[in-house]
Chains A and B, each alone.
Chain A
Amino acid sequence: MTILQVNDLGITFGGLRAVDGVSFQVSLGEVFSIIGPNGAGKTTLFNLVTGIYRAGRGSIRLAGEDVTQLAPHLLVRRGMARTFQNLQIFFRMTAIENVMVGNHLSERTSLLADLFALPSVARQNRRTRERALELLERVGLAHHAETTAGELSYGVLKRLEIARALAADPKVLLLDEPAAGCNAVETEAIDRLIGQIAESGVAVVLIEHDMKLVMKISDRVLVLAHGKRLAEGSPRVVRNDPAVVAAYLGEHGAREADRAHG
């Protein structure tokens, strides 16, 4: 079932068309990957879809309803959650508190109840903590629960962000380079985790530079270049698309060559 429908989405920054008329659809339970060279507009596309940027054109439909102008915190209510390419962690809170904040929307207390510590607050805190611990277990971080997030390593924080996003109980989960900066073992864990999340019925939209990971777990792949759609299809089709090879892998290859030559 289609859950997210993006139609002709676009935004310009001072003349630069960062995202230029992109359309795609994602169904529940599938892994939909977005790839493309650096600066292609992938993160900008996420920022549009999650309401951080106002779309200059186009529309976004979530579960059939138009959500194009909705603020980020309202989109979460409709079932959208994400992680960030440049970590956005609550560094001064513990790992479990980070995930507890992710549960914010399902917490049933009021400001006054919180001020006066009514019994409902203690009950809610207990429930939230239990849920957060389950999620930490699910991403393999239960042993870090009481550690301040600022003291955790990059690879751990990447998974912590996923746990926090899952706490919001999303129907659509957008992951912006979850394996970037992770070692092989951590990448493997994230690979398995994404598979499980999709299997549980969540639509996963994945931005990732690790081609091995993308080709392995994606149901469909969208290739962006200069803000535009270059190709879309199964991993196999995309990999063999001449335009993709030329634009994306070509640029990538050129960069690799640059690096090799120092």
Chain B
Amino acid sequence: MLRKILSSRIAVLLLLAAMIAIVPVLAPSSFYLRVAALVWIFGLAALGLTILTGYAGQVSLGHAGFLGIGAYAVAVGPAKLGLDPLLSLLLGAVLCGLVAYAVGKPILRLKGYYLAIATLGFGLIVALVLTSEGAITGGPDGMQVPRVVLFGWRIAGVVPWYWISGGALLIGALLALNILASPSGRALRALHDSEVAAAGVGVDVAAKKLAAFVISGVYAGVAGSLLALMNGFITPEAAGFMHSIELVAMVIIGGLGSVVGAVVGAAFLVVLPQALTVLQEYEQAVLGLLIMVFMIVLPAGIVPSLRRLVLERAA
């Protein structure tokens, strides 16, 4: 019974909605809201990796590349092409999907370490292009992101972006949960455990992996757009290698395959560095140490480990 409740779609969504609703009550300052909005945004990108890595078992060390494409879509679209920012966001998401398809088709044949390195290469290329195409992207100095005007209302300041990113996270979580409980989700989880057996019952393994890669690319792209729109400014650093690593770390620290885990992992890696700034030069070292301790104590990730604890207590 408890197991059913803990894993039901509604319960997960309610939990996330409660988290989003409670932050402005507990910590109404714009600094805290900004940090929380970053959690929702990176949580959204991490959710994409939950589908790719958590469900289907395929690694990517290049997903910040999609983050970068999404971010620059809402910067370049309005500034250089005169497109509406929201339309730019949508086009950015579509572009991420197309790029993921084109890149994923050849490299998803690779497995394990080899796939990791190939995706790493993809991320590096995106960062390189964003840095070197200065005429369009502003080069390493980055570029301004025009403000969004919706029905005559200029969206500025952290509060609207807090709610928009929170809403996007909820939608992302809903879709990820939908997939999980569907024929596609079962096929992805199956090929994670045994590709040969999945193919042996008719699962088109290559097509399913590609679908997961495209979906996860779109998630990261939308997250990148939201990041750029909220910050009002974007640099190629968005597509940087560190962000790719952070996304993978979020998914693993939070709990591979867990929707709530992706958000908790994002919170871990977004909030902790902020909280640890008081330690000044020891910040990075302590963060690294905390990551190690968490992985040693909760090797299955924070959320699955806690879930097991609760279920054992109840039993």
Q: Which residues in A have some Cβ–Cβ distance to B below 8 Å? A: 50, 52, 71-73, 76-77, 81-82, 84, 88-93, 97-98, 100-105, 107, 109, 111, 113-117, 121, 124-125, 128, 164-165, 167-168
Contact = CB atoms under 8 A, between A and B. Distances in A.
A92 B183 contact: no
B197 A90 contact: yes
B186 A97 contact: yes
Interface string B172-187: 0001001101111111
A159 to B, nearest CB: 15
A73 B186 CA distance: 16
Range class of the B interface residue count: 20 to 34
Interface in B188-206: 189-190, 192-194, 196-205
A125 B185 CA distance: 11
B182 A125 contact: yes
B250 interface: no
A93 B201 contact: no
B203 A92 contact: no
Nearest to B57: A92
A121 B183 contact: yes
Q: Is the interface of B mostly helix, strand, loop or mixed?
A: helix
Given A52-B196, A90-B190, A101 B201 contact: yes
Contacts of A105: 201-202
B211 interface: yes
Nearest to A91: B193
A77, A115, A124, A128: residue with the most chain B Cβ atoms closer than 10 Å: A115
A92 B202 contact: no
A226 B184 CA distance: 42
A124 B200 contact: no
Given A93-B186, A114-B184, A128-B183, A104 B193 contact: no
A114 B196 contact: no
Contacts, number: 105
A82 B202 contact: no
Contacts of A111: 184, 211
Given A109-B182, A125-B182, A128-B183, A102 B175 contact: no
Interface SS of A by simple majority: helix
11 contacts: A73-B199, A76-B199, A77-B202, A84-B197, A93-B189, A104-B202, A109-B183, A115-B182, A115-B184, A117-B178, A121-B182
B187 A89 contact: no
Contact of B202 (A76, A89, A90, A116): A76
Given A90-B192, A101-B201, A125-B182, 6 more contacts: A71-B199, A92-B192, A97-B186, A105-B201, A115-B175, A115-B178
A93 to B, nearest CB: 6
B201 A76 contact: yes
Contacts of A93: 186, 189-190, 193
Contacts of A114: 178-179, 182-185
A235 to B, nearest CB: 28
Contacts of B198: 90, 101
A97 to B, nearest CB: 6
A88 B197 contact: yes
Contacts of B187: 101, 104
A71 B205 CA distance: 11
B102 to A, nearest CB: 18
Nearest to B184: A114
Contacts of A52: 196
Nearest to A113: B182
